[in-house]
Amino acid sequence: MRDAAPAITGLRDVADPNKVDPIHQFHINKLIDLQIGGLDFSFTNSALFMVIVVVLTGAFLVLTTSSRGLVPSRMQSVSEMAYEFVANMLRDAAGTHGMKFFPLVFSIFMFVLVANLIGLFPYFFTVTSHIIVTFALAMLVILTVVIYGFMKHGLKFLKLFVPSGVPGLLMPLVVAIEIVSFLSRPVSLSVRLFANMLAGHITLKVFAGFVVSLGAMGGIGFAGAILPLFMAVALTGLELLVAFLQAYVFAVLTCMYLNDALHPSH
């Protein structure tokens, strides 16, 4: 019995619903240990997937446009469509002055989109399912807005918090609300993306776990596993939509916040 044990326990590990751990996919494993000044800067699976996302996206964008075709090939069209999609988004939200931020918005959109999409592959790590990553990206946007806003407009940037046409008596209240809403932007921006990715992946994992658990029972369980299987397939489609949508939402909100930095007076 001893030699058969690992295989059996391996099966039980998956078959037992208590062992199908939907949180497991979010664990961070160290690949290369790296400690600097008492802080842990190890190269982890999260870092690995950041590298994969960046290399894949960069390579795709460069290789597809390398022929510089006047009439684009299919893959070149994809790159051009992504470019024009973000360019139109930014131009609509922030005007032509906003185009100086185009590289930033384009890289944020492509990074989030590809990270979301790669996360959909089984056994792949989803970079954007960690709040610290989405929060860092959101802070990058907000700090860009604040720093650029003060650099360009000086103290006039504070007019952002003072909407015109508000009666004097209400002004303190309105200003307080504006400040709170501004401060909550990085939180809402990061939590929206993080929560969507996290919830989607947990749901997928739970339904996929049902398929395995029920299937392992044999007989009726096997038949019963069909329903969660369909669910898992449908959810994968939904997650594909969410992956794109959340990247789009993140980029659109980035554009709108950048518009505030460019034109602070309401």
Partner 1 sequence: MFVTTAFAASEGETHNAAAGETHTETGVPHGDGHSAMFPPFDSATFPSQILWLAITFGLFYLFLKNAVVPRIAGILEVRHDRIAQDLDQAARMKQEADEAIAAYEQELADARAKANQIGQEARDAAKAEADAERKETEAALDKKLADAESRIAAIKADAMKDVGAIAEETAMTLVEQLVGKATKTEIAAAVKSVNG
Contact 212, 14 (CB under 8 A): yes
Positions 158 through 217 that interact with partner 1 (CB under 8 A) = 194, 198, 213, 216-217
Choose between 87 and 252: whose C-beta lies nearer to partner 1. 87
**43, 92, 151, 238: residue in contact with partner 1 (rule CB under 8 A):** 43
Please work out, in degrees rounded to the nearest 5, the angle formed at the alpha carbon of residue 156 by the alpha carbons of 153 and 159. Answer: 130
Q: Is residue 222 near partner 1 by the rule CB under 8 A?
A: no
Choose between 100 and 266: whose C-beta lies nearer to partner 1. 100
Please tell me the distance from the alpha carbon of residue 54 to that of residue 76, in angstroms, as a whole number: 18
Q: What is the 3-state secondary structure (H, E, C) of 2-61?
A: CCCHHHHHHHHHHHCCCCCCCCHHHCCCEEECCEECCEECCEEHHHHHHHHHHHHHHHHH
Please tell me the distance from the alpha carbon of residue 248 to that of residue 214, in angstroms, as a whole number: 37
Q: Which of 14, 10, 11, 23 is nearest to 205 (CA)?
A: 23
Q: Which of 208, 193, 202 is nearest to 242 (CA)?
A: 193
Piece of the chain touching partner 1 by CB under 8 A; list 130-138, 165-173, 240-248, 253-261: 130-138
Piece of the chain touching partner 1 by CB under 8 A; list 80-88, 141-149, 166-174, 251-259: 80-88
Q: Is residue 12 near partner 1 by the rule CB under 8 A?
A: yes
Q: Is residue 22 near partner 1 by the rule CB under 8 A?
A: no
Q: Give the interface with partner 1 as residue ranges (CB under 8 A).
A: 1-2, 5-6, 8-10, 12-13, 15-18, 21, 23-24, 26-30, 34, 39-44, 46-47, 50-51, 53-54, 57-58, 61-62, 65, 68-70, 72, 76, 79-80, 83-84, 102-104, 106-107, 110-111, 127, 129-133, 136-137, 140, 194, 198, 213, 216-217, 221
